[in-house]
A and B are shown apart, each in its own frame.
Chain A
Amino acid sequence: MRAGRLRLPQSAATIGLPSPQSPIMTLTFEDFPPGHFGTFGPRRVTREEILAFAAEFDPQPMHLDEAAAAKSMLKGLSASGWHLCSITMRMMFDGYIGRTASLGSPGVNELRWLAPLRPGDDLTLDIEVMEARVSRSRPSTGIVTFKALVRNAAGQLLCEMVSPIIVERRAGAAAEQAG
């Protein structure tokens, strides 16, 4: 099939790259070869923002009330898991999505909340590219599947997420491959 030939060999995706650390360059599919992509943060999470998010989106006692939270399975006030996801999204945006030719994400394959996010935690985000492949249905784009690992300052893993994003390929990449 014609679409099959559009698949980039792994090595071709790493030739002549702008550095992913360059602040002005727009990142394209070619900038996401499999492997460790980067470490981002730290990002301090305050009690006030934990309470504000919980009040709006997840008003359960374990996210709002110290006394109730102390008696919960999480043994103390913790952020909503969706708050942690949303902060992770912001850290990804500030780290690289904001300068990536991203067309959005179709979803999240798997997300694990492994330990509670506490007030005052400083979050660090590690991004690994698990897979990068050219889209068959839209050959001017590629699908980059990330694993995001969020840790607190003690190095404890709080959240692990595997999610694909759709990223534009470098201009002319599809035509070069087809030719």
Chain B
Amino acid sequence: MRFFEDIEVGQRRQVGSFTFTADAIKHFAAQFDPQRFHLDEEEGRKSLFGGLAASGWHVGSVCMKLMVADGKRQAKEAHARGDKVAIWGPSPGFRELRWLKPVLAGDTISFSSVIESLRTSDSRPEWGIVQARNTGTNQRGEVVFSFLATAFVPRRDTAA
């Protein structure tokens, strides 16, 4: 992963893609969000979604999964170059999360991330605070998911 100093506003990164199968949608929904339109094809068709739809929390969790995998790839590359690897801190939260269109069984969602803002932290000088707009786009090019994420990112200067 990158250090705070290596990040610039406007940088875009393709994070990865994921196909939401009916089985995966139902498995997540049965645990966390067993609303009828997330569990049953016919109920999904009758709903506003027009088909078996993934829980919005499933979409968010898959985005996280792909971001972590992408971070590990970046860490591996940095390591291979002999660079120091930045270990990102936790996230204090997010804003403006939008489930813009349903994610239906069989849809493949590609996620990307664009850096929106950078600031340093007065209370935690070893960390910078990065805001990124993460979006998910389906196989038809429609943006289906978007949120403004915040994360603590280590600063190169003070990293031990």
Contact = CB atoms under 8 A, between A and B. Distances in A.
Contact of B31 (A81, A85, A90, A112): A90
Contact of A86 (B31, B48, B94): B31
Given A103-B47, A112-B93, A113-B91, A86 B68 contact: no
Contact of B61 (A57, A106, A116): A57
Contacts of B47: 103-104
B37 to A, nearest CB: 7
B93 A110 contact: yes
Contacts of A109: 95-97
Contacts of A110: 93-95
Contacts of A104: 35, 37, 47-49, 53, 56, 99
A112 B37 CA distance: 27
A145 interface: no
Interface stretch (A3-11, A58-66, A149-157): A58-66
A58 B68 contact: yes
Contact of A57 (B65, B95, B97): B65
A25 interface: no
Contacts of B56: 104-105, 107
A72 interface: yes
Interface in A64-103: 72-74, 78, 80-83, 85-87, 89-90, 93, 97-98, 102-103
Interface of B: 28, 31-35, 37, 47-49, 53, 55-57, 60-62, 64-65, 68, 89-99, 147, 152
15 contacts: A57-B65, A72-B90, A80-B64, A81-B91, A87-B32, A90-B32, A93-B33, A104-B99, A105-B56, A108-B94, A108-B97, A108-B147, A111-B93, A111-B97, A166-B48
Given A60-B68, A90-B33, 14 more contacts: A57-B61, A58-B65, A59-B65, A80-B61, A82-B61, A104-B35, A104-B56, A105-B99, A107-B97, A109-B95, A111-B93, A111-B94, A112-B92, A113-B93
